[in-house]
Chains A and B, each alone.
Chain A
Amino acid sequence: MYYKFSGFTQRLTGVVSSSAYNPQGLRSNIPSEPPTTFFATPTKLVSESNAAVEYMGANKVPDLQRLFQASEEIPVHLKRGVSDRLLYRTTMALTVGGALYCLVALYIAAQPKNK
Chain B
Amino acid sequence: MAHQAHAYHMVDPSPWPLTGAIAALLMTSGLAIWFHFHSTTLMTLGLILLLLTMYQWWRDIIREGTFQGHHTPPVQKGLRYGMILFITSEVFFFLGFFWAFYHSSLAPTPELGGCWPPTGITPLDPFEVPLLNTAVLLASGVTVTWAHHSIMEGERKQAIQSLALTILLGLYFTALQAMEYYEAPFTIADGVYGSTFFVATGFHGLHVIIGSTFLAVCLLRQIQYHFTSEHHFGFEAAAWYWHFVDVVWLFLYVSIYWWGS
Contact = CB atoms under 8 A, between A and B. Distances in A.
Interface of A: 55-57, 59-61, 64-65, 67-69, 71, 73, 75-77, 79, 87-88, 90-92, 94-95, 98-99, 101-102, 105-106, 109
Given A94-B45, A98-B22, A101-B42, A65 B13 contact: no
Interface stretch (B59-67, B124-132, B198-206): B59-67
Interface stretch (B46-54, B184-192, B241-249): B46-54
B207 to A, nearest CB: 26
B25 A77 contact: no
Q: Is the interface of B mostly helix, strand, loop or mixed?
A: helix
A87 B49 contact: no
Contacts of B26: 98-99, 102
Contacts of B49: 91, 94-95, 98
B4 interface: no
Interface string B20-54: 00110110011011001100011001101100110
B177 interface: no
A69 B68 contact: yes
A55 B109 CA distance: 61
Contacts of B68: 65, 68-69, 76
Contacts of A94: 45, 48-49, 52
Contact of B36 (A59, A79, A109): A109
Given A69-B68, A91-B52, A95-B49, A55 B16 contact: no
B29 A57 contact: no
A99 B46 CA distance: 10
Nearest to A66: B67
Contacts of A55: 156-157, 160
A64 B19 contact: no
B52 to A, nearest CB: 5
A42 to B, nearest CB: 22
A77 B12 contact: yes
Contacts of B56: 77, 87-88, 91
B224 interface: yes
Interface in B89-125: none
Given A56-B223, A76-B60, A94-B52, A105 B42 contact: yes
A35 to B, nearest CB: 21
A32 B257 CA distance: 53
Contact of A68 (B29, B42, B67): B67
A98 B46 contact: yes
B18 A77 contact: no
Given A60-B224, A101-B45, A75 B12 contact: yes
Of A60, A68, A73, chain B has the most CB atoms within 10 Å of the CB of: A68
Nearest to A67: B67
A95 B67 contact: no
A102 B25 contact: yes
Given A77-B60, A94-B49, A98-B42, 8 more contacts: A59-B225, A61-B225, A64-B67, A71-B1, A75-B14, A76-B12, A91-B19, A92-B15
Contact of B63 (A68, A98, A99): A68
B145 to A, nearest CB: 18
A77 B60 CA distance: 6
Contact of A95 (B18, B42, B63, B223): B18
A57 B223 contact: yes
A73 B30 CA distance: 38
Given A69-B68, A76-B64, A95-B49, A109 B224 contact: no
